[in-house]
Amino acid sequence: MSLIRTLAVVAVFPIILGGCVSGAEYAGKDAGFSTVSTSTRSAMAKDAVWVQNQQQAKALSAQTKALLSREKSLDVDTAVQIALLNNKGLQAAYADLGDGAADAWQTTMLLNPTASVGLKGIGTPELEAFKTIEGALTANILALMTKKRDVALADTRFRQAQLNAAIETLRLAADTRRAWITAVAADENVAQLQRAQTAADAASELAEKLGETGAMAKGAQAREHAFAAELAGEAAKSRLAARLAKEELTRLLGLWGPDVNYRIPNRLPPLPKTIAKRDTIEADALRNRIDLKVARLELEASAQSYGLTEATRYVTDLELTTGLEAERSREDGAKKVDFTGSADIGFAIPIFDSGKARMRKAELAYMRSANRLAEKAVNVRSEARSAYEAYRSSLDIARHYRNNVVPLRSKVEEQSLLTYNGMITNTFELLTDTRETINALVQSVNAKRDFWLAEANLAPAIYGGGSSPGPSETAAAGSDE
């Protein structure tokens, strides 16, 4: 036992010189999640929870069921809150945060020394056991010298993991909001197309009866039948789109079983009376975008890694081996034990590899991070401008359909009905005007949907978690129905 204690004292000496770093910040179960929750709550006014045990899981499940049963139809804010509480993919992202905290915690711990014990002269007649005991402890001095740099780099990576968890939270919230808007708009389109289908079926039936009396040519009958058939196909496609849109929302909410029978409103909210002012949206985005903060931390980590590489450019492995040798002998018939201490330093000789290649890679990694940060800053400004431009223009377009196109089409239909009652307009002209009115209503719904999607993209443009779609994507979405 005395030999082992002596060896421990000798080997611990360089460890004491290296100092100790506390990992209490990373060791708790919270693992920095409070920072994630605070940053996301300020951006979306919703609560995010990291489930880490069965009791928390049961409590959140009960809370989700309460939110689902609170209202007859699920509004957008409640849908976002349910997704944040119930989406299992988000919980997996939070587990990645825990991994980052554990990695940082591991870095704060000193490397364990290596111990070795050897025996010489086993079974010699004069000692009947052994002649020499050799013991050694080996500690990595270089790791102790660079411990502060390693911990700083690990802390930067941990802060990146926190921000990435926040980005995933914001992305889920934005995706859920967009999915809710798309699902509600799809239901509203189904209602409008069903009205158009009723008018088309009436026209087709009337055309068939007139054809039986000889009052309508077969070509005209075929046109009415073809229009009714095509509209039936469009209505079926719209019903399928509505079901798929709701399933997308259900996946984001993390619901299954009886809970999937929740209801959503059958029409989107009305357009706002005033437009939100975002004169400083570029500055707000540069100040608040979390992905831009991640890029800044990546540059910081690259700089720290560069410094660490420079510190270990010539010597990549430096170890101190401390040993103690106990030799037993006989002198004048008495047994005697002599202790001899030793210390060895081992390191690689940089004859062939002077570290230039590693330094070059570190330099390139730093420049790569710097350029990506500059690119991200440019893109953030552009995305913020595009999001607000889409918001303003979409509102103008939606108002145009609501205030001009739909009223004019409704007026044409109304006048057609009056002239039809006066025997001036025939039945098919009236049905044509009715179908055009329904088409205008569908376009108005799509324009209102595009506006609310643009409005939902404002927050991600300022805080992160998803970018707003480009003009081509918006145009494609508007031409679906």
| pLDDT in single tens digits along all 481 residues of the chain | 444 444 344 444 444 444 445 566 676 667 778 888 888 888 888 888 888 888 888 998 899 898 888 767 899 999 999 999 999 999 988 888 888 888 878 777 776 666 666 666 555 555 444 455 555 555 555 566 667 777 888 888 888 888 889 999 999 999 999 999 999 999 999 988 887 788 778 777 877 887 878 777 777 778 778 778 888 888 899 999 999 999 999 999 999 888 888 999 989 999 998 888 888 899 999 999 999 999 888 888 888 876 756 655 544 554 555 555 556 666 666 766 666 666 665 555 555 555 677 778 878 888 888 898 899 999 999 999 999 999 999 999 999 999 999 888 888 777 766 665 444 455 566 667 777 888 888 899 999 999 999 999 999 999 988 754 443 344 334 444 4
Residue 456 CB contacts under 8 Å (≥ 6 apart), including other chains: 174, 177, 178, 181
* Cβ-contact 122, 130 below 8 angstroms: yes
Cβ atoms 254, 86 nearer than 8 A: yes
Q: Whose CA is closest to 145, among 21, 23, 22, 17?
A: 17
C-beta separation of 218 from 211 below 8 A: yes
Helix axis angle, 427-456 relative to 471-478, nearest 10°? 150
Q: Give the Cα separation of 197 and 112 in Å (integer).
A: 77
Residues paired with residue 35 on neighbouring β-strands, in sequence order:
none
pLDDT one-digit tens code per residue, 241-264: 999 999 999 999 999 888 888 999
Q: Decide: 460 and 466 in contact? Cβ < 8 Å.
A: yes
Per the CB < 8 A criterion, the answer to whether 347 and 319 are in contact is yes
Instruction: Tell me which long-range contacts 431-434 makes (C-beta under 8 A, separation of at least 24).
Output: 431/199, 431/200, 431/202, 431/203, 431/206, 433/409, 434/199
What are the respective helix, strand and coil percentages of the chain, to the nearest 5? 70, 10, 20
282 three-state secondary structure: helix
CB distance 355 to 310 below 8 Å: no
Indicate the pTM of the whole model: 0.77
Question: In the chain, how long is the greatest CA-to-CA distance?
Answer: 142
